Structure 1
Amino acid sequence: MSVHLFPVRVYYEDTDMGGIVYHANYLRYVERARSDWVRQLGNDQNAMREAGIVWVVRRIEAEYLSTAKFDDELVVETTMRKVSGARLVMDQLVLRGETPIFRASVTAVCMNAAGRPVRLPAEIRALLA
């Protein structure tokens, strides 16, 4: 199973008063990594949206393992764990060097314009197979 790597640098705006990365920003980092991953797979999210289908995060299990600080260089590793007809489950790990900082399991689904879940398009399942 391939691993997608996405580099992130911590900027001052990412930190809290204590000088460490504010907890919600890890969710931003892993979101950017997922978006980059599906783009690299060839999934055109704009075309999907125009067709009335969008990706939606259904569930996130997050674990904060250590802290990151201003100017740290991080890497987000994204690995697909499971693809079904209606959902995609990914494991994501944020690392500073070899040190795990944050871990998440993310379940994403597709929804139509009415806000109802729909099956993942066949071309998406084929890309992920």
Structure 2
Amino acid sequence: MPFQWPIRVYIEDTDLGGIVYYVNYLKFMERARTELLRQCGYSQQQLAQDDVLFVVTGVEGRYFKPARLDDELLVSVIVERASGVRVTFQQKIIRASDSVLLCQAKVDVACVSAERLRPQRWPAQMLERLMSNFVQQLIPEEK
């Protein structure tokens, strides 16, 4: 089952035309991944103290429809695949009022040592929680 996080569109998220500026969708996705980890019991501060950081190593996304000022959005996250060092998340953003798909992306996230900034394996317990709770068959992609 996907993890979902609600986000409201504020004026700071929009361009002069009143629609969400494209890069802000990536910010919304980052927030949802952060909240997913928090729900699994991992705060960013605790992870850094445990010598764990996550870095985005790749994003492949598509935009379909615009979000506008004051829209409520739902950002979903599932784990598509995981290796020792890298996890690929599949994320979608829909408008809550009508469930219209606005954007989707695959986001590759690597685990690195906070101290050395070198790749390291994802913490086993964290990966187990993610894999047991937030994995499902691939979300069909829009064409």
Distance 1:128 1:17 in 2: 39
Residue aligning to 1:75: 74
**Secondary structure at the residue paired with 1:85?**
coil
Helix, strand or coil: the match of 1:67?
Answer: coil
CA distance in 2, matches of 1:87, 1:80: 11
Q: Partner residue of 1:117?
A: 119
TM-superposed CA distance for 1:122, in Å, is 1.6
RMSD of aligned C-alpha atoms?
1.1
Written as runs of structure 1 = structure 2, the 5 A alignment for 1:7-46 is: 7-46=6-45
* Partner Cα separation in structure 2 for residue 100 and residue 110 of structure 1: 29
Q: Structure 2 unaligned segments of length 5 or more: list them.
A: 132-143
Whether the aligned pair in 2 keeps the contact of 1:4 and 1:79 (CA below 8 Å) is yes
Deviations 1:48-104 (A, max 9, x none): 211222111111111111101111111101111112111111100000132110111
Between Structure 1 and Structure 2, the one with more strand by share is: 1
| Structure 1 residue runs of 4 or more that deviate by more than 2 Å after TM superposition | none
Give 1:46 deviation, angstroms.
1.7
Looking at structure 2, the residues matched to 99 and 9 of structure 1 have their Cα atoms a distance apart, in angstroms, of: 15
Return 5+ residue gaps in structure 1 as ranges: none
Percent identity between the two aligned chains:
38
Tell me, in whole angstroms, the C-alpha distance in 2 between the residues paired with 1:125 and 1:73: 30
Paired amino acid for 2:50: A
How far residue 27 of structure 1 moved from its aligned partner, in angstroms, is 0.7
Q: Aligned letter for 1:117?
A: P
- Equivalenced residue count is 128
Give the structure 2 partner of residue 101 of structure 1: 102
1:105 CA displacement? 0.4
CA contact 2:40–2:126 (8 Å) conserved in 1:
no
Give TM-score, length-normalised by structure 1: 0.93
CA distance in 2, matches of 1:31, 1:125: 18
